[in-house]
């Protein structure tokens, strides 16, 4: 187990280093200088040069990367000239919003997806299965910005019971103080996510229902209800843990759109605005933070999974 842990940690580290390299290379392929994008059309050549010097953009790329890593190791993500804020501060400010949104919507999605998936697995290829499949795929097929807009039109314009924007505070307490504002954005993000989890629960449950131990349980005369709930569900849900870890980046992509629509300036919004303005420190910082979160998430999920299910431990060591 210790060896597995060390190997897994090593992998995680390599992944994070790779992420910084990929992000760095892509960013420096962006046409047009950060300087012109930041300082605007009125900036003089001298001002542009001064900016490039201040931000270190006049140095060779490899040296810039070295300096970035060096500062990163000291926990310094740099300073965003455009926001007039340190990257860490900007991320600290936005992270609670996106985390809350992601957490709430995942919670809602998982809570709804599990019973749906189980029902589908039990009633496989009968009308409940078809109906749920059709509906969840319909939700999945709807572009999230279209769905969000429809929610706003229906629930805050035509039938105005909910506000068209998310709460405006920056701390979790402030956000939770206005639960009405959270309903539409959470629901929008949750609806498209349900399909993914329900499909996963369904296939995992089907696999497990066919496992030997389930057949044994059945042959022992246990009721189907007991078989499903006591034996299969537990094992069928383990893979969902892995999915939760893996799904984080996709969630951020969705959050980007939801944030823009519901006036909820979180991480996705931060990244988008930075991309529009060539705000390199923010782009790098957000990418690094999200990938660390994802890698750590995946690691925790794997370890949990391995701790829970010995079969995986064996499979894991083959990686």
What part of residues 171-230 is at the interface with other proteins (CB under 8 A)? 178-183, 186, 192-193, 195-197, 199-200, 203-204, 206-207, 210-213, 230
Residue for token digits 């989890």?
197
Q: Assess contact for 175 and 167: CB atoms under 8 A.
A: yes
Q: Which helix (H) or strand (E) holds 79?
A: strand 79-80
For 193, list phi and psi in degrees, rounded to 5.
Answer: -85, -30
Binding map of other proteins across residues 53-72, x = CB under 8 A, - = no contact: --------------------
Residue among 27 and 72 whose Cβ is closer to other proteins: 27
**37-42 long-range CB contacts below 8 Å, 24 or more apart?**
37/277, 37/278, 38/81, 38/82, 38/277, 38/278, 38/279
Among 149, 222, 303, 312, interactor with other proteins by CB under 8 A: 149
Q: Got the DSSP string for 146-171?
A: HHHHHHHIIIIIIS--S-SS----SS
Contacts to other proteins from residues 258-297, by CB under 8 A: 259-265, 269, 271-272, 275-278, 283, 286-287, 290-291, 294-295
Residue among 63 and 253 whose Cβ is closer to other proteins: 253
Residue among 74 and 157 whose Cβ is closer to other proteins: 157
Tokens representing 154 are 């229906």
Contacts to other proteins from residues 105-134, by CB under 8 A: 107-108, 110-111, 114, 125, 130, 133-134
Binding map of other proteins across residues 20-49, x = CB under 8 A, - = no contact: --xx--xx-xxxxx--xxxxxxxxx-xx--
Q: Is 158 in the site for other proteins (CB under 8 A)?
A: no
Q: Which helix (H) or strand (E) holds 80?
A: strand 79-80
Nearest-approach distance from CB 5 to other proteins, in angstroms: 17
From CA 184, how far away is CA 165, in angstroms rounded?
Answer: 8
Among 6, 67, 69, 138, interactor with other proteins by CB under 8 A: 138
Among 89, 126, 226, 314, interactor with other proteins by CB under 8 A: 89
Tokens representing 79 are 């300073």
């Amino acid at each position: 187990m210790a060896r597995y842990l060390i190997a897994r940690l090593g992998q995680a580290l390599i992944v994070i280093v790779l992420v910084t390299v990929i992000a760095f290379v892509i960013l420096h392929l962006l046409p047009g200088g950060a300087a012109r994008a930041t300082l605007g059309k009125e900036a003089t050549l001298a001002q542009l040069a001064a900016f490039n010097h201040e931000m270190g953009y006049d140095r060779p790329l490899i040296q810039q990367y070295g300096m970035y890593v060096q500062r990163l190791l000291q926990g310094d993500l740099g300073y965003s000239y455009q926001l007039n804020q340190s990257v860490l501060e900007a991320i600290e400010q936005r992270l609670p919003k996106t985390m809350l949104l992601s957490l709430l919507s995942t919670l809602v999605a998982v809570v709804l997806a599990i019973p749906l998936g189980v029902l589908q697995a039990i009633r496989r290829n009968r009308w409940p299965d078809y109906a749920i499949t059709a509906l969840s795929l319909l939700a999945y097929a709807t572009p999230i910005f279209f769905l969000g807009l429809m929610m706003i039109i229906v629930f805050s314009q035509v039938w105005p019971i909910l506000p068209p924007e998310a709460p405006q505070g920056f701390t979790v307490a402030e956000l939770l103080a206005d639960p009405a504002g959270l309903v539409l954005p959470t629901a929008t993000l949750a609806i498209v996510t349900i399909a993914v989890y329900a499909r996963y629960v369904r296939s995992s449950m089907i696999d497990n229902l066919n496992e030997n131990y389930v057949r044994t349980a059945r042959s022992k005369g246990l009721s189907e209800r007991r078989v499903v709930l006591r034996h299969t569900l537990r094992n069928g849900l383990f893979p969902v843990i892995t999915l939760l870890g893996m799904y984080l980046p996709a969630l951020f992509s969705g959050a980007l759109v939801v944030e823009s629509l519901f006036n909820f300036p979180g991480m996705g919004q931060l990244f988008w605005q930075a991309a529009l303005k060539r705000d390199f420190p923010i782009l790098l910082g957000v990418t690094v933070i999200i990938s660390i979160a994802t890698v750590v998430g995946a690691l925790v999920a794997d370890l949990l999974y391995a701790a829970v299910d010995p079969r995986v431990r064996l499979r894991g060591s083959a990686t």
